[in-house]
Amino acid sequence: MHDACGHTGGCAICADDAIAMRVVETAPPLQGARCVTADGTAALVLLDLVDAEVGDQVLVHGGVAIARAAR
């Protein structure tokens, strides 16, 4: 990634990269849903910005799902 300011890779604000994760358990709004990476690393992720269900792949940045892969 390269934008007009010269930044390359990751988020221009925090330098983090988004991570693909699979939803394994949902949770009520504003509570973390359990998600795992391909290598099995688990994390709590807010799903409030995307319409995701158990089994869906989501793109996670800063503990928040920012996109869902096509079903």
Any domain includes 27: yes
Number of domains in the chain: 1
In the chain, pLDDT over 90 holds for what percent of residues? Answer: 56
Could you tell me how many helices (H) and strands (E) the chain has, helices first? 0, 5
Radius of gyration of the chain (CA): 13
The model's pLDDT over 2-36, given as tens digits with 9 standing for 90+, comes to 445 554 555 555 556 788 999 999 988 888 899 99
User: Does the pLDDT of residue 38 top 50, yes or no?
Assistant: yes
Any domain includes 45: yes
- What is the domain extent for residue 43? 19-68
What does the pLDDT read at residue 14?
54
**At a CB cut-off of 8 Å and minimum separation 6, what does 63 contact?**
32, 43, 44, 45, 46
Any domain includes 10: no
What does the pLDDT read at residue 54?
96
Among 42, 48, 53, 49, which residue's Cα sits nearest to residue 19?
42
What CATH number should be reported for the domain holding residue 30?
2.30.30.140
pTM for the structure as a whole: 0.75
The model's pLDDT over 59-71, given as tens digits with 9 standing for 90+, comes to 998 899 999 988 7
